[in-house]
Amino acid sequence: MIDRADATLRHLTRYWDTFRQKDDPQRSPAPAALEAVLYAGREARIHVIYDGPATVSGRLIAGAREQFFTIILARVSAGMWQQLAPIVDPTPQSSPLLGRVHVVQDGDAHPAQVPLMTDAEAAGWLTTTAAGEI
């Protein structure tokens, strides 16, 4: 799980630019490592939960976006829809209600309600839920 991925990749890239040695590659290895996980993920049955629009900010290569089977969008602009889910047309209307999202799979967007939990509630739920119950 990568939370606030855009900020994380931005900070790692800035760190790389600051401390990179003369013989090191120009591009930070952090986005390259994430891309490797994304490309190997389906084959290795790795589930990546990625919170952030870094796929559109130039930190990941363009093909990385296609590695996500499910895209969940909430309260984003029509322009962001076109960048993250261009196969969905027309762009669904955003909801001002908390927890309302659109789940994009197989070229279709479906409205959904996500559970609203604190970090502690989510951690408790994850640690007490038996494997296979989800």
- Could you give the CA distance from residue 59 to residue 30 in angstroms, rounded to a whole number? 9
- Write out pLDDT tens, residues 22-54: 898 888 888 788 778 777 776 777 777 777 664
CB 83 within 8 A of CB 63: no
Domain spans of the chain? 1-68, 70-134
Residues above pLDDT 90, as percent of the chain: 2
- Write out pLDDT tens, residues 112-121: 998 888 889 9
pLDDT at 94: 81
Count of C-beta atoms within a 10 Å radius of residue 28: 19
Beta strands in 14-107 (DSSP E): 71-73, 100-105
pLDDT over threshold 80, residue 90: yes
CB 28 within 8 A of CB 16: yes
pLDDT over threshold 60, residue 82: yes
Q: Nearest CA to 60 among 81, 38, 42?
A: 38
